[in-house]
Structure 1
Amino acid sequence: MDLLDSTVWGGRGWAGHWQPLSGGEIDIVEPATGGVLARTGLAGAPDVDRSAEAAAAAQPSWAAVTFQERAAVLRRAGDLFQEHAEEIKDWLVREAGNIPGKADFEVHVAAQECYEAAALASRPPGQILATEAPRLSYTRRVPVGVVGVISPFNAPLILSIRSVAPALALGNSVVLKPDPRTPVCGGYVIARVFEAAGLPAGLLHVLPGAAEAGQALVAHPKVPVISFTGSTPAGRSVGEAAGRHLKRAHLELGGNSALVVLPDADLDAVISTAAWGSFFHQGQICMTTGRHLVHESLYEEYVERLAAKADSLVVGDPAREQVHLGPIIDAGQRDKIHGLVTESVAAGARLAAGGTHQELFYRPTVLAGVDDRTAAYAQEVFGPVAPVRPFATEEEAVALAADSEYGLSLGIVTRDAARGLDLAARIPTGIVHVNDQTVNDEAVAPFGGVAASGTGSRFGGDANIEAFTDTRWTTVRSSAATYPF
């Protein structure tokens, strides 16, 4: 089976069958070459309305099947991701600009998300409660109904499937709106996999679209839960709209994560760690290391060695040559990155490496001499930029790391792991890694940030149960209760 044959899905959306969408069609562009890979349909509000209604109608029968049946579909989906890994990997490289290693990781995580979701289907659905009355009192986790998923371009497969798989496993239906720049890896591949895995029609809808489709999904009365991954400004809008409609919004947003390098760190090891944290996938990851906080005794050597590492990395077309960094997703994102870099240098930062681009290929960049006023230090860049700042004491390191509106991920490098844990306890963050950089993900681990990085851990492990079910309190008496009325 050719999973991603564009004659099947090209220019369409998935609603249990392939159909045209009301917003017309646009090209799917390969960022490395500017070439057209295929066409995608664009969803509008009418498409969202139809899919939400159909998903709501299909969901009760899915919730009523045995947990074994739901788990079997999820396991088959995981197997299909592995079976078609090379085909999916090729699309991730060409559509999303992944280097092959990142594409391999995305496919691996997609399969693991399905296997872990399959295990959710058989989790205990509630608990027995103590009660003063002569009755059985218990809680039960019940599906929320329809889950709306809005996913971004940067890790399109992972950031879609991590909500789709557990939501389906727990008895819900799903309407997925992937970014229209990556509709294949963020949506069509998931539709094709679950179609082949035997998911009943009507339970999964894939509607690539822009803001209009996302707004319609958030507003639709048949969609009580929204799972959104994207920028903090967009997440604020989603959260505000969801609040007006009295529905839950699980928001995984931006970051400006710090890597704290203590004076006892081994620079021979840490430079590789630091470069990966800032330059992996061209820095287009919410967890990217956006602030390098380095003890003053190591600072100058750290800058010099990180700049040398940046200069040694190969940037180019990941589909046609062996490279460390591929292209930025589009010109708008590249220009934002370059604007922050040039503004920072104009304000006094020293350009130690990079700061240039050819078309969408941006050189890994190191900035020294940064402070609170440096744009590329204070803001989320979402590009391959590593601002480095010294600190003198642990108290200063804590203050600098905590001085951000974001709170997604934190890395601490030290030969004394206990010291690293003690430091981490004083810095607000959703995720912390001692002796590692800030970019990590596993299907079994809870994932999410605090403050401007989101609404806490809403993905992975038990967090999925919290995200995609409601708690229902139930009591049962052996006979009807009587009251003094």
Structure 2
Amino acid sequence: MSTTATATRLLDPARWEDRIWTGEWVPAAGGTHECHSPSTGQPLTTIGFASPDQVDIAAEGAAAAQRDWAGRTYEERAAVLRRAGDLWLAHIDEVTQWLRAESGSAADKARFEVRTAAQECYEAAALASMPYGEVLRSTQPRLSLSRRLPVGVVAVIAPFNAPVVLSIRAVAPALALGNAVLLKPDSRTVVSGGVTLAAIFKEAGLPPGVLQVLPGPGATTGERLITTPRTRVIAFTGSTSAGRRVGELAAHHLKRAHLELGGNNALIVLDDADLDRAPGVGATGSFTHQGQICMATGRHLVHESVADEYVARLTELAEALVVGDPAGEDPVQLGPVIDGGQRDGIHAIVTDSVREGAALCTGGSYERLFYRPTVLDHVTRDHRAFREEIFGPVAPVIRFTTLDEAVELARDSAYGLSLGVLTRDVMRGLQLADRIPSGNVHINDQTVNDEAPVPFGGVGDSGTGSRHGGHLANIEAFTETQWTTLRGELPRYPF
């Protein structure tokens, strides 16, 4: 991949090709992998894979480095995080270009990721100085208190779809709280989701070994990150099926696993919704980043009295969206899906649903990895487009008559990540949302919403609850509680 050479260039493929980051770039013992642009199919770079033995060595090195890092003052740790935040912004153009080329991100989505990464670092810097315990009452003459201490080594396993954000949101708070981190980015987005973090934190002054980046093929490296003795907490973002395996393996090894998994999120459009804006809200929820977002709007539940107009306008918006190479010269709104397997899975759900009786209003076709924004109407519970997480640019519309029916439809899913309700009566919308289990609720907005200071997570098959974001959630996720008592003199015991 070509980038404009400047004196402040952060990412140089010559540094990392065929290597992994352990505090320095070292030869990869697990083989190499050629990364390709999903837009053009052309090679971008070659990255190294860590072998299982290298994971064990990295974990030992991280544990040794963590002891010194945890012993630093909170001001020192906060300063590193603040510098990292500044560096994300200083190199936003360079990192954005990699996101566009490597992950198929449109320019606006890519820049949003980098700006969010900076904010995550700033929030983590503030986390370093938060109170880390409380004084407890005791029936005995002693000082009794609880302290939150670093867990030690945290393993972070991140996916391809938002590779910067879904790495940094766990890496930054874990580091701020005095932990070391072993990061496994998705093998398709190693530069965006791994190399950039290594480069940013090296430049920010993080001591060697405190953050290590260990890509690997399939599940092998991820499983070793869980089973290697030094890791104590696993922060995983990915599919529900993979998350179950992570949770099972972590439980067997008596480790905490924070799981942020899939979603099949509902956007409920009530009969009083603003139809000049509601279709744009729904299109954003379903089509942003080609629908490859766990929070994407997977089901549009629309009141029958406004459904015809909503579908017509949604279809018009979908047909007007520009699909193409985000790294090219022309501005585009949707890029490619990540690979052929993802594309074929999307297309199978669309074609099966149409065969089952759904109406194809627009889309349902693709060229290479570019899938056209698709609107399906008259979708029912029996259709795959209702039942499954599509993870593609597809907007299934399900019509309802009563509020009770809308609640029943929204609840008819194993997932519970994000929910949107569009209505002019916000209290009515909130009362409706109160009847639907969901980790996140947005009245008069679409389902794709996330901010650095906010606890984020889902219920049911969407994961183990709010584990990322917000000071309390991050402290809970990346520290252990220690009870400590202090006496002025030794007590007298009866023996």
- TM-score tier, shorter chain, comes to over 0.9
| Structure 2 counterpart of 1:299 | 307
2:76 to 59, 69, 73: 69
Structure 1 gap segments, 5+ residues each: none
Root-mean-square deviation (CA), in Å?
0.7
| Structure 2 counterpart of 1:235 | 243
- Following superposition of structure 1 onto structure 2, how do residues 251-290 of structure 1 map, counting pairs within 5 Å? 251-290=259-298
- 1:151 correspondence with 2:158: yes
SS at match of 2:338: coil
- 1:122 correspondence with 2:132: no
Amino acid at match of 1:422: Q
Deviations 1:187-238 (A, max 9, x none): 0000000001110011010011121000100111110100000000000000
| Structure 1 counterpart of 2:382 | 373
- 1:219 correspondence with 2:227: yes
Q: Distance in 1 between matches of 2:292 and 2:83?
A: 31
- Superposed displacement of residue 483, structure 1: 2.4
SS at match of 2:263: coil
- Following superposition of structure 1 onto structure 2, how do residues 347-426 of structure 1 map, counting pairs within 5 Å? 347-426=356-435
| Structure 1 counterpart of 2:21 | 14
List 4+ stretches of structure 1 deviating above 6 A: none
Amino acid at match of 1:89: T
SS at match of 1:305: helix
| Structure 1 counterpart of 2:200 | 193
- Superposed displacement of residue 54, structure 1: 0.6
| Structure 1 counterpart of 2:467 | 458
Q: Distance in 1 between matches of 2:239 and 2:492?
A: 55
Q: Distance in 1 between matches of 2:43 and 2:386?
A: 35
SS at match of 2:164: helix
Q: Distance in 1 between matches of 2:296 and 2:491?
A: 59
SS at match of 2:386: helix
Q: Distance in 2 between matches of 1:6 and 1:440?
A: 33
| Structure 1 counterpart of 2:4 | none
Q: Distance in 2 between matches of 1:483 and 1:451?
A: 50
1:325 to 298, 318, 334: 334
Deviations 1:107-140 (A, max 9, x none): 0000000000000100011001111111101110
- 1:57 correspondence with 2:70: no
SS at match of 2:134: strand
- 1:474 correspondence with 2:484: yes
- Following superposition of structure 1 onto structure 2, how do residues 15-164 of structure 1 map, counting pairs within 5 Å? 15-164=22-171
Structure 2 gap segments, 5+ residues each: 1-7
Q: Distance in 1 between matches of 2:103 and 2:295?
A: 18
Amino acid at match of 1:81: W
Amino acid at match of 1:125: Y
Give me the TM-score of the superposition, normalised by structure 1: 0.99
Give me the TM-score of the superposition, normalised by structure 2: 0.97
What is the number of residues matched between the two proteins?
485
SS at match of 1:175: strand
Point out the more displaced range, 295-304 or 248-257. Answer: 295-304
Q: Distance in 2 between matches of 1:362 and 1:481?
A: 73
- Superposed displacement of residue 343, structure 1: 0.8
- Superposed displacement of residue 44, structure 1: 2.3
SS at match of 1:163: helix
Q: Distance in 2 between matches of 1:11 and 1:349?
A: 48
Deviations 1:330-369 (A, max 9, x none): 1110011011111111111111110000000000001111
Amino acid at match of 1:61: D
Q: Distance in 1 between matches of 2:375 and 2:436?
A: 25
- Following superposition of structure 1 onto structure 2, how do residues 429-448 of structure 1 map, counting pairs within 5 Å? 429-448=438-457
Q: How many percent identity over aligned positions?
A: 61
